[in-house]
Amino acid sequence: MTAPGAHRPPIVLASASPRRRELLAALDVPFVVRPANVDETPPAGLDPAGVALAIARRKAAAASASAGGQLVLAADTVVALEGCLLGKPADAAEARAMLERLSGRTHDVYTAIVLVLDDQRCEAVPLTRVSMRQLSASEIAASIAAGTPFDKAGGYAIQDPLLAPVARWEGCYCNVVGLPLWSTWQCLRTLLPDATPRPPDTAFERCAACPLRQRI
């Protein structure tokens, strides 16, 4: 293990998600992107939070195998409607079916984060309750035509300005985007207490009212 306070190589972000790259960049910590190619089939017998954590652990384990002592950050987002998991739609028909099911209803979003450094680990699985507004058939069709649903759990993005699908949420906004910033920051501070700089004041502007907020 690298001694406290010593120079460390960049964090390995085991994700190809552009949303996670954007969010992690807000913390002003150096990182490199090395997506982990793992089986993302939901394990049987687990609740949605357990599924997200199990898949994030798979990603972290795969990335850690070649990380060479670098800190690895892996994440997985799960959308659950009345206990039923909604993954990334495979085609337009599946995307349409997902958005029609979610329209006007409230569902749960979990993003599991797993940070691994040598033999140390920090994990969190925040929950955000998301209420969708009523979506029209033409709005759903436009979102599908734009290609928005296909790399996102549940087939939507809370930050999508075209569809603007969410009426309200309870919990962490960034959790729905794909990386809960406060939870990630706290885990970084746990594993790298002497090597993690305070983020810029702008890092948490979007998170001022987040219930995960802690004093930094």
Catalytic residues, which ones? Answer: 76
Alpha helices in 83-180 (DSSP H): 92-102, 137-146, 173-177
- β-strands 72-81, 84-86 pairing: antiparallel
| Dist CA 101 CA 81 (whole Å) | 9
Kindly state the tokens that stand for 192. 């790298």
Question: 130 has which bridge partners?
Answer: 107, 169
Dihedral Cα 123, 126, 60, 119, nearest 10 deg: 0
| Dist CA 93 CA 160 (whole Å) | 20
- β-strands 127-132, 166-170 pairing: antiparallel
Question: 87 has which bridge partners?
Answer: none
